[in-house]
Amino acid sequence: MNCLEFRRCVGAEPSASGAGIEGHRAKCPACARHQDELRAMDAVIGRALAIDAARIRKGDTTALPTGSATRRPRWLALAASIMIGVTVGFALWIASPRPSLAREVIGHVAHEPDAMSGTAPIAQATLAGVLDPEGTRLRPGLGDVTFAMRCVFEGHVVPHLVVRTARGPVTVLLLRHRSVSGRVELAEQGYAGVVLPAPRGSIAIVGQLKDLDGIAQQVFEAVDWGN
Ligand SMILES: [Zn+2]
Ligand SMILES: [Zn+2]
């Protein structure tokens, strides 16, 4: 099992275990930590739902019209669990030592090398599933999108795309949570890239190309940030 397979697997089921999972955990601390974070979020969400279920059993539904006794608490629990999930993710992120933004971005890209190797365009629906929750879109014309996943980055879920531009594949991370005051250049481990201030947070563009600036500008302009 490689890093990408591992992250797909635990992303769908944080409590996943088994020989493949444990084997990868043993040799890849970054993936092990990734799963630990997902498990922690999952546990807190589970507790929030359990508390709510206990309230329903006690008959604490006085304010609810007949028939909606289960529907509304479930909705509330879901809203609460999302809030708690975000808070836990953020807490885990600030509790761990913070490497520089450059190192975080390159580390993330270097850790999912298989993401760069695909050549077949992914389905529109897959791309929409990754970008829609952010209220963003990618305008056509930039190149085929060959990879799209919602990844955990600095305790936040962020869209991670790979676009095959005319000059080669580039990785794009939409970092809505992370503001930068100006452009940040990245160059590490054979990767070159740039983080640019965006209408919402920032955008990281990374590739293994020389002179990435022109492509970075094209990528930046291809993102429709919504309102
Ligand atoms: Zn790994
Ligand atoms: Zn990723």
Evaluate whether 41 touches 89 at the Cβ level (below 8 Å): yes
What's the gap in Å between 5 CA and the centre of ligand 1? 9
DSSP character at residue 115? G
Q: What would the pLDDT profile of 128-163 be if each residue is shown by its tens digit? A: 999 998 899 999 888 999 999 988 898 888 999 999
The ligand minimizing its distance to the Cα of 111 is 1
Which sequence spans correspond to the domains of the chain?
A: 3-95, 101-224
Q: What would the pLDDT profile of 17-49 be if each residue is shown by its tens digit? A: 999 999 999 998 888 988 888 888 777 777 766
Q: Which residues contact 216 (CB under 8 A, 6 or more apart)?
A: 170, 193, 194, 196, 205
What's the gap in Å between 127 CA and the centre of ligand 1? 23
Assigned CATH topology for domain 101-224 = Protein Transport Mog1p; Chain A (3.40.1000)
What's the gap in Å between 227 CA and the centre of ligand 1? 36
* Cα Rg of the chain (Å, integer): 20
Q: Which residues contact 125 (CB under 8 A, 6 or more apart)?
A: none
Which residue's structure tokens are 């709510």?
A: 52
What span, in angstroms and rounded, lies between the C-alpha atoms of 126 and 164? Answer: 16
